[in-house]
Chain A
């Protein structure tokens, strides 16, 4: 079974600085999807960014970008110009193309933003 590992339980960043959250996954498949979700104190999960494994280009959404290293099975999230509203739990998730209903989540990284 596929597993997703987030090795940083907690991270902190100064407001306006850049932070990178790590995510690795284990799979034997060549085609899959990767996601980053944000869970603020309201506890609703919000999609931050997604990446298709067949695309070499790293996905970008405004201040959020990923570094997708397929061979290394790594999918890190970079947050630029960090804002106070970025403080949240961040979850990395993997989904196979063979079963759209099987999404695997990492344990999460709690990000603190210091003013």
Chain B
């Protein structure tokens, strides 16, 4: 079945360490996104990529980095510069088309202590 796979489901890191969250899709979608979800808030866009080897900052890109070397993969690195990294992270993709909706993965819960 086609879909978006995020791994791992839960991730624990010590403060000061970088950590990379995986996102893989087999939907053949061009555009991919990373969102952050905090309690009581809507999703906020971190980064997005419309094509391979190109990506753009979203509203809260500081302290994060991404790469898009393959169409299927869009990993997110949470660096030690991110002041409040503990959150739920959602990866999404979208097919071509103006009204096409986002398709989401199951998310990764990151806890930094």
- Seen from chain A, the residues whose Cβ lies within 8 Å of a Cβ on chain B are 4, 9, 33, 35, 42-47, 50, 52, 91, 93, 97, 100-108
Kindly state the separation between the CA atoms of A107 and B88 in the bound complex, as whole angstroms. Answer: 14
Kindly state the separation between the CA atoms of A108 and B43 in the bound complex, as whole angstroms. Answer: 9
Q: When A and B form their complex, which 7 residue pairs have the shortest distance between CB atoms, in order from nearest?
A: A105-B42, A45-B104, A105-B43, A47-B101, A44-B106, A43-B107, A101-B48
Kindly state the separation between the CA atoms of A52 and B56 in the bound complex, as whole angstroms. Answer: 26
Q: How far is the CB of A58 from chain B (nearest CB, A)?
A: 16
Q: Please tell me if the beta carbons of A44 and B105 are within 8 angstroms of each other in the complex.
A: yes
Q: Please tell me if the beta carbons of B107 and A100 are within 8 angstroms of each other in the complex.
A: no
> What's the A-B contact tally at a CB cutoff of 8 Å?
51
Do A44 and B31 form a contact, CB below 8 Å, given A91-B42, A100-B94?
no
Kindly state the separation between the CA atoms of A105 and B56 in the bound complex, as whole angstroms. Answer: 19
Q: Please tell me if the beta carbons of B90 and A107 are within 8 angstroms of each other in the complex.
A: no
B contact residues, range: 20 to 34
Write the B69-113 contact mask toward A (1 if CB under 8 angstroms, else 0): 000000000000000000010101010001111111111000000
A3: nearest residue on chain B (CB-CB)?
B42
Kindly state the separation between the CA atoms of A47 and B103 in the bound complex, as whole angstroms. Answer: 8
Do A107 and B41 form a contact, CB below 8 Å, given A100-B94, A101-B31, A101-B33?
yes
Q: Please tell me if the beta carbons of B98 and A97 are within 8 angstroms of each other in the complex.
A: yes
Chain B residues whose CB sits within 8 angstroms of the CB of A42 once the complex forms: 106
Residues of B37-67 contacting chain A, CB below 8 A: 40-45, 48, 50, 56
Q: Please tell me if the beta carbons of A101 and B42 are within 8 angstroms of each other in the complex.
A: no
Complex A-B: 30 CB contacts under 8 Å: A9-B40, A33-B98, A33-B99, A35-B101, A42-B106, A43-B88, A43-B106, A44-B105, A44-B106, A44-B107, A45-B43, A45-B92, A45-B104, A47-B102, A47-B103, A50-B101, A91-B42, A100-B94, A101-B33, A101-B45, A101-B48, A101-B56, A102-B45, A103-B45, A103-B102, A104-B42, A105-B44, A106-B42, A107-B40, A107-B42
B48: nearest residue on chain A (CB-CB)?
A101
Residue of B44, B88, B90, B99 near A52 (CB, 8 A) is B99
Q: How far is the CB of A105 from chain B (nearest CB, A)?
A: 3
